[in-house]
C-alpha cells in the first residue's frame, strides 16, 4: 500500500511559476501564528472566557474574539459552560 503525500495547490503553483510571497504577507502570517500560539497556550491550562483569554495573552479582546469565533467555527475549540456574567468558557477540542 502506497501512502500519498498531500500536496497543496498553492505549493504546486509556487513550484511551477517560481512565485514568492511578499515580505508583508510573510510577516502577517508570522503575526497570525504568534497570536494563535498565545491563545492555544492559554487554553491548554483550562477553559477560559474571552476576557480571561485577553488578560492571559495580553491581546485586545476584539482580536481574541475574532480568533475564538474562527476556532469555534472550525471545531478547534468548544464552548463548555456559561458563567454568571454571561460569558461562555471555551476549551480546546480534540479535533486537529
Residue-wise pLDDT tens digits, 62-93: 999 999 999 999 999 999 999 888 899 999 99
Please check whether residue 2 lies inside any domain of the structure: no
What φ, ψ does residue 80 adopt, rounded to 5°?
-105, -30
**Cβ atoms of residues 89 and 80 within 8 Å:** yes
Eight-class DSSP state of 86: S
**CATH value at residue 71:** 1.10.10.10
* The three cell numbers locating residue 94: 480534540
pLDDT for the residue numbered 77:
95
Residues linked to residue 81 through DSSP beta bridges, in sequence order: 89
Query: In the predicted model, is pLDDT for residue 52 greater than 70?
Result: yes
What φ, ψ does residue 75 adopt, rounded to 5°?
80, 15
Cβ atoms < 10 Å from Cβ of 50? 18
Please check whether residue 4 lies inside any domain of the structure: no
* The three cell numbers locating residue 39: 491563545
Domain that holds residue 50: 13-92
Nearest-CA neighbor of 63 among 47, 71, 44, 25? 71
Q: Per the structure, how many domains does the chain have?
A: 1
Query: In the predicted model, is pLDDT for residue 17 greater than 90?
Result: no
pLDDT for the residue numbered 49:
95
> Measured between alpha carbons, how far is 44 from 26 in angstroms, rounded to an integer?
27
Amino acid at each position: 500500500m502506497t501512502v500519498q503525500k498531500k500536496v497543496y495547490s498553492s505549493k504546486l503553483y509556487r513550484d511551477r511559476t517560481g512565485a514568492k510571497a511578499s515580505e508583508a504577507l510573510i510577516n502577517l502570517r508570522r503575526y497570525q501564528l504568534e497570536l494563535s500560539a498565545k491563545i492555544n497556550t492559554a487554553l491548554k491550562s483550562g477553559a477560559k472566557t474571552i476576557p480571561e483569554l485577553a488578560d492571559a495573552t495580553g491581546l485586545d479582546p476584539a482580536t481574541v474574539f475574532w480568533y475564538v469565533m474562527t476556532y469555534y467555527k472550525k471545531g478547534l475549540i468548544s464552548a463548555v459552560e456559561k458563567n454568571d456574567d454571561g460569558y461562555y468558557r471555551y476549551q480546546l477540542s480534540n479535533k486537529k
